[in-house]
Structure 1
Amino acid sequence: MITVSIDAMGGDHGPAVIVPGAAKSLERHPELRFIFFGQEDKVVPILERHPRLNDASKFVHCDVSVRMDDKPSQALRQGRWKSSMWKAIEAVKSGEADVCVSAGNTGALMAMSKFCLRTMADIERPAIAAIWPTLRGESIVLDVGATIGADAQQLVDFSVMGAAMARALIEVKQPTVGLLNVGVEEIKGQEEVREAGRLLRQSNLTTLDYHGFVEGDDLGQGTVDVVVAEGFSGNIALKTAEGTAKQIAEYLRAAMGRTMMARLGYLLARGAFSQLRDKMDPRKVNGGVFLGLNGIVIKSHGGTDAEGFAAAIDVGYDMVRNQLLVKIETDLKYFHGRRANGKEPALEVSEQSG
């Protein structure tokens, strides 16, 4: 069995979406068990409408819930030990749950997760990894918002962790890794990105295959299994892709209803359009994974529906089932151990960085 702790009060819609989402995930994975944290009068009535989920669940009442507009520092100060978000994370720390899933405030969730679970050895700052649909299938993209302005060593650590996640989720033995840059030439880009590329080229890691620099259009092409970026550019890329998918969907919807011939064409090609809609559905790839922590935390989009929240739970299920933490810990220990023994290239310090 895999136990999932749920922040039932998180997101834009709270229990009205989160509980039915858990019910959908349970249908796909009958071995799942749940612990819901939230306000009893809002969660329990909805939970009782899903008898099968109710039988597979435990409920814990929490008086406090983190609001979507709370500042991370404020949420951490006021919500520790009392809020549904903190209790859901704490269940992972205590071993009561295997993974935590929340659709709540991203900054607060990251702050609480880092404070409660702590980062792994040799990891200075965690990353958020997203599943990215591509022409070849799926890729992993990180960081998409946790670490703004990552240095070279952090980018290398992101590469190691992202490759471990690709091995756990996509089941690729030696994932290809690329650093997001403004060009593929080695002389282009910020100094931190170029230095991270040098470290990865010379690392000779057997757990990943460093491809080199990749550009924005490579994300959709699926040029590599793992795309690594610092959080600012990664978040912009993620939001741009989501916005573009919605824009294209609106264009198609408008075009198909414009004339009688267009409507007829839609009816004849309805199967193809259904497949396209499914491919472009952001709910199918909902769920960002917090990497670098001593525990698995999944962040769902706050505005998603039940199907999207179920997808986030599914990601957590796959991460636990495929032993994500063990893979990351093993890879990081190997890489940093080689660095300590002088078998890996040292980080160069420029005059500008002191």
Structure 2
Amino acid sequence: MIRISLDAMGGDQGPEVVIPGAAKALERYPDARFLIFGIEERCRPYLERFPKLAAASEFHHCEIAVRMDDKPSQALRRGRWRSSMWRAIEAVKSGDADVCVSAGNTGALMAMSKFCLRTMANIERPAIAAIWPTLRGESIVLDVGATVGADAQQLIDFAMMGAAMARALFGIERPTVGLLNIGVEEIKGQEEVKEAGRLLREADFLSLNYHGFVEGDDLGKGIVDVVVTEGFSGNIALKTAEGTARQIGGYLRAAMTRTWRAKLGYLLARDAFDRLREKMDPRRGNGGVFLGLNGIVIKSHGGTDVEGFAAAVEVGFDMARNDLRQKISRDLDLYHARRMPARAEMQASI
């Protein structure tokens, strides 16, 4: 049984999307159980519409909700111990839940998660990992917004965490990992990226297979299982891809309704267009995973709909069921155990 804590007040629409989304996820994962945190007078009317979800849930009233425009520092001062976001995270810390899912303010969610759960040993900064649709299926891209700027060691940490997530989600024993760069040549890019590439080549990890540098146009090709970058460029890449998907969808809708012949062509090829729309649907990849914390937290898009929030809940279910945190912890322990003799030898020579 996987126990999922929900911040029912998070997102642009709060319980109007969160509760029906959880109900939809429960249909697909009937052995899930929920702890729902929110303002009772707003949540109860929606919860009463879904008796199966109500039977599989515990509801906890909270005094306040973190606003989408709250600064992280404001959210911590105002929302610690009383907000639905904090209490949903705290349920993971206490062991009452296996994973937390929120569509709330990203900065506040990250700040509260770091404060409440703390980062794992040997991890300086957490990362947000996104599931990326590709021509070959799906890849993982991180960081997409948690850490602006990263040194070589932090990029290596991201690589190990992303590889552990790929094993948990895709069942790949030794995922391929690439570093996002402005070219595939080793002489190109920022010094931090080049240094991370050198260290990854020399490390010979058992948990991942380092592919080398990848460029922006490789993201959709799926040539690697995990793409590693720092949060500034990763977030821009994510938002660009989502915007491009919507742009292409708009072009297709306009083209298919322009003339009666186009409408007829759409009817004849409707199944193909439906499959294309499904593959391009950003909701399918909704649910960024906070990696590097002592607990699993899933960030849903704030403006998502019911289907999108259900997808985020399902990502959390899969991460908890496949022991993501334990896989990351084991990989980090093995890596740093191998580093210690080399570091001691280097310091002795100095």
TM-score calculated relative to the size of structure 1: 0.97
Secondary structure of 1:315's counterpart equals helix
* Aligned residue identity for 1:51: P
* Aligned residue identity for 1:217: D
> 1:180 offset after TM fit, Å?
0.2
Cα deviations by residue, 1:56-109 (Å, 9 ceiling, x for unpaired): 000100111100000011101111111000000000000000000000000000
Q: Distance in 2 between matches of 1:182 and 1:46?
A: 48
Count of aligned pairs: 347
> 1:344 offset after TM fit, Å?
11
Q: Distance in 2 between matches of 1:58 and 1:45?
A: 15
Q: What aligned pairs does 1:239-278 form with structure 2 within 5 A after superposition? A: 239-278=239-278
Tell me what 1:313 maps to.
313
Q: What aligned pairs does 1:1-354 form with structure 2 within 5 A after superposition? A: 1-342=1-342
> 1:223 offset after TM fit, Å?
0.9
Q: Distance in 2 between matches of 1:145 and 1:344?
A: 34
Cα deviations by residue, 1:238-270 (Å, 9 ceiling, x for unpaired): 000000000000000000000111001000000
Runs of 4+ in 1 over 4 A off after TM superposition: 343-347
* Aligned residue identity for 1:164: A
Asked if the contact 1:203–1:345 (Cα under 8 Å) also holds between the matched residues in 2, the reply is no
> 1:343 offset after TM fit, Å?
7.9
Secondary structure of 2:342's counterpart equals coil
Asked if the contact 1:286–1:309 (Cα under 8 Å) also holds between the matched residues in 2, the reply is yes
Secondary structure of 1:35's counterpart equals strand
* Aligned residue identity for 1:161: M
Q: Distance in 2 between matches of 1:336 and 1:112?
A: 27
> 1:342 offset after TM fit, Å?
1.2
* Aligned residue identity for 2:192: E
Tell me what 1:352 maps to.
none
Q: Distance in 2 between matches of 1:290 and 1:11?
A: 17
Structure 1 residues 244 and 65, CA gap change in structure 2 (3 angstroms)? same
Asked if the contact 1:339–1:346 (Cα under 8 Å) also holds between the matched residues in 2, the reply is no
> 1:341 offset after TM fit, Å?
1.8
Q: Distance in 2 between matches of 1:344 and 1:185?
A: 32
Please, which runs of 5 or more residues in structure 1 have no aligned partner? 348-354
Asked if the contact 1:131–1:140 (Cα under 8 Å) also holds between the matched residues in 2, the reply is yes
Secondary structure of 2:290's counterpart equals strand
Secondary structure of 1:5's counterpart equals strand
> 1:44 offset after TM fit, Å?
1.1
> 1:45 offset after TM fit, Å?
1.3
Asked if the contact 1:169–1:319 (Cα under 8 Å) also holds between the matched residues in 2, the reply is yes
Please, which runs of 5 or more residues in structure 2 have no aligned partner? none
Q: Distance in 1 between matches of 2:108 and 2:336?
A: 30
Asked if the contact 1:199–1:345 (Cα under 8 Å) also holds between the matched residues in 2, the reply is no
Structure 1 residues 54 and 346, CA gap change in structure 2 (3 angstroms)? farther
Q: Distance in 1 between matches of 2:8 and 2:197?
A: 41
Secondary structure of 2:219's counterpart equals helix
Secondary structure of 1:3's counterpart equals strand
Q: Distance in 2 between matches of 1:249 and 1:343?
A: 52
> 1:225 offset after TM fit, Å?
0.2
Structure 1 residues 246 and 61, CA gap change in structure 2 (3 angstroms)? same
* Aligned residue identity for 1:66: V
> 1:116 offset after TM fit, Å?
0.2
Counting aligned pairs with the same residue, the percent is 74
Secondary structure of 1:341's counterpart equals helix
Structure 1 residues 292 and 129, CA gap change in structure 2 (3 angstroms)? same
Secondary structure of 1:200's counterpart equals helix
Q: Distance in 1 between matches of 2:199 and 2:88?
A: 37
Secondary structure of 1:221's counterpart equals coil
